[in-house]
Amino acid sequence: MNNTTCQCISFDFTSRFLPPVFILVFIVGLVANGWGLKSLLHNWKKLKIINVFVLNLGLADILYLLTLPFLMVYYFKEEIWIFGDIFCKITRFCFNLNLYGSIGFLTCISVYRYLAIVHPVRMMGRLTVTHSVAISVMVWLLVSVQSLPDIFYTKTSENKPKCYDTTHKTYVEDYLKYSFGWTLTGFCLPFLITLGCYGHMIVILCCKNTTDKVLKKRCLRLLLILIVLFSVCYIPYHVLKNLNLWSRVLLEQKKCREWSNGVYIAHQISRGLVCLNSALNPLVYLHGNEDIRSQLRQLLQRARQIFIRPPPTDSGSVPMNQITDEV
């Protein structure tokens, strides 16, 4: 298909799909991250190196979750943005900070785990809480620098007040180049580092028979969490975002493709999946903080006692053994 008349794209799918996802993520993410951050701050004096990265991970999630009510209003109003151009850019900037900040801090956690397990003697006493704070500041700065050019692209249109997650069709070709470079530095490189760390770590743990079984289980559990996060949230989003931008460039050049509509819908689904990272990241809290896991067990035990509580006995009834004795 290579005509000047292109197939219509189902833009109404976004307004039907994204709002329910945003509502779910907002409720679950706010409760889970709020609880996790409260537990970390409650034990501030016991704050470990890895918990500094976890704390920053939670702050990145909260930053994005606070913008979701405005996006809900936007999509409920059939993609009519009423909050102005500047706030549109702030909202999209917060999303990018959350996305690439999450990837950055998950990478830091992976590298720290790798150093602690593969090079424990060499790293003993060399990496302190102060170092982890400095690394966290560097991650925030690097992510901000990567996300900053996105602000200078047009995010709204004059005809219909929209708030583009990328940019207006006029600048989409330049944005595709920027997005591709951003994907390589902000996603692919951290992903390869994380993959390399855990690949080597699993080999070391499996080869050493003296390795603590609890430690091995914890590493495998964290690896599983990261596989879920990258497979569900991050990989589909980055692949489909760039593919959708390429489709838009072709449409601007009047080069239509049969797969354009399918790519657009798949990209919108990936946008819903990528925001799930704010609800799934608290799994890292449960893995890395024993206090939070013990609190969760207590809550589950209380809930079980409430639902499985035996029915109250009639206070006026007389036990059978007492009746037998009296007779």
How high does pLDDT run on average in the chain? 83
Mean pLDDT across 23-35: 91
Q: Residue 46 falls within a domain, yes or no?
A: yes
For position 79, what pLDDT does the model report? 86
pLDDT at 288 over 60: no
Closest-CA residue to 199 (of 293, 84, 118): 118
- For 96-120, give the DSSP string: HHHHHHHHHHHHHHHHHHHHHHHSH
Burial of 118 (0-12, 13-18, 19+ CB in 10 A): middle
For position 219, what pLDDT does the model report? 76
Q: Residue 115 falls within a domain, yes or no?
A: yes
Mean pLDDT across 308-322: 51
Q: Residue 307 falls within a domain, yes or no?
A: no
Who has greater pLDDT, 208 or 53?
Answer: 53
Mean pLDDT across 248-273: 88
Q: Which of the 8 DSSP states describes residue 5? A: S
Can you say whether the dihedral through the CA atoms of 288, 290, 291, 296 is positive or negative? positive
For position 303, what pLDDT does the model report? 63
Mean pLDDT across 243-261: 86
Share of the chain above pLDDT 90, in %: 45
Residue 257 belongs to domain spanning: 12-292
Q: Residue 252 falls within a domain, yes or no?
A: yes
Domain CATH for 106? 1.20.1070.10
In 77-207, which ranges are continuous DSSP H helix? 85-118, 120-123, 129-151, 172-183, 189-207
Q: Residue 217 falls within a domain, yes or no?
A: yes
Mean pLDDT across 118-127: 76
| Calpha distance 301→204 (Å, rounded) | 37
**Domain count along the chain:** 1
Tell me the one-letter amino acid at 272: G
pLDDT at 263 over 60: yes
Q: Residue 301 falls within a domain, yes or no?
A: no
pLDDT at 75 over 80: yes
Instruction: Please report which confidence band the pLDDT of residue 257 belongs to, taking 50, 70 and 90 as the band edges.
Output: confident
For position 7, what pLDDT does the model report? 62
Q: Residue 298 falls within a domain, yes or no?
A: no
pLDDT at 284 over 60: yes
Least confident of 4-18, 123-137, 245-259, 276-290: 4-18
What does the pLDDT look like over 163-209, one tens digit per residue? Answer: 999 998 889 999 999 999 999 999 999 999 999 988 888 888 777 76
Supply 52's token pair: 């500094």
Mean pLDDT across 115-123: 80
- For 257-321, give the DSSP string: -TTHHHHHHHHHHHHHHHTTHHHHTHHHHHHH-HHHHHHHHHHHHHHHHHHTPPPPPPTT---HH
Q: Residue 315 falls within a domain, yes or no?
A: no
For position 107, what pLDDT does the model report? 93
